[in-house]
Amino acid sequence: MPPASDVQPIAFRPATPNDCPHLVLLADMATRRLTSLLWGQAASAGQSAFEIGRDIIRNDQSHFTHFSNWRVAEGQGQVVGAVGGYVIPESSGAPAAGMDIVKPLNELKAMAAGTWYISAVAVYPEYQGEGFGKSLLMEAESMARAAGKDRLTLMVGSFNARAYGLYRAAGFAAWDRRPFVPFPGSDEAGEWILMGKDLPRES
């Protein structure tokens, strides 16, 4: 890691359509390959899952992964990571139906209705360990406040000890858990953990 004096400060900006190649990768990193699995379900024969993901992030304004829901982090003259999120609509009944793989996630997200949900937060490997993850979580707090919310939520796998430790250090606490359903190329069996954080009132 370079000396502190050599590390350029991180800067945030709204994502643009030109950021979609980054957002596709960062979304899949954040979800441990689950996102690309789901994109692949919608792909035609011979079509890349990432092609589907890019199209959704770039063009589907109704989808929570649309680029308008992201903030991009830049440091050292490069995109180093990004954070995306949205307000989970208030529950109108049972959790949305879906594949067995996402059913536990839908159940947990139903518990977080009305909160500002961090759907993805990720830093490229070459920039990890420099404090950018903490900065991204602080930016998420600003995004939540801008949306009029004082509670943040997110999901993390029990197998992702590094991320879980980061969220705990940032003030998130575990709310509930559901079994993680493994899929080809995924992490080993474990649990999805719903975590939440109440934001202090600004003075």
Considering its fold, how many domains does the chain have in total?
A: 1
- pTM for this predicted structure: 0.90
Helix (H) or strand (E) holding 15: none
Residues in Cβ contact with 1 at an 8 Å cutoff, skipping those fewer than 6 apart: 129, 130
Query: Is residue 44 situated within a structural domain?
Result: yes
For residue range 121-147, what is the model confidence (pLDDT) as tens digits?
999 999 999 999 999 999 999 999 999
Task: Let me know if residue 81 belongs to a domain.
Answer: yes
User: What phi and psi values does residue 9 have, to the nearest 5 degrees?
Assistant: -65, 150
For residue 203, tell me if it sits in a domain: no
Instruction: Establish if 48 belongs to a structural domain.
Output: yes
Q: Is the pLDDT of residue 186 over 50?
A: yes
- 53-92 per-position pLDDT tens digit: 999 999 999 999 999 999 999 987 899 999 999 999 987 5
Percent of residues, the chain, with pLDDT higher than 90: 80
CATH number at residue 129: 3.40.630.30
**What angle (nearest 5°) sits at the alpha carbon of residue 172, between those of residues 184 and 136?**
75
Domain annotation covers residue 85: yes
Q: What pLDDT score was predicted for residue 76?
A: 76
- Which pLDDT value is given to residue 98? 62
pLDDT band at residue 203 using 50, 70 and 90 as cut-offs:
low
Structure tokens at 70: 């992201």
129 within some domain: yes
b/e 155-177 (16+ beta carbons within 10 angstroms → b): bbbbbbeebbebbeebebeeeee
Are 199 and 145 a contacting pair, CB within 8 Å? yes
What residues have CB less than 8 Å from 199, skipping those under 6 apart? 141, 144, 145, 149, 150, 151, 152
Q: Do the domain assignments include residue 62?
A: yes
The whole-number pLDDT of residue 1 equals 43
Domain that holds residue 52: 4-198
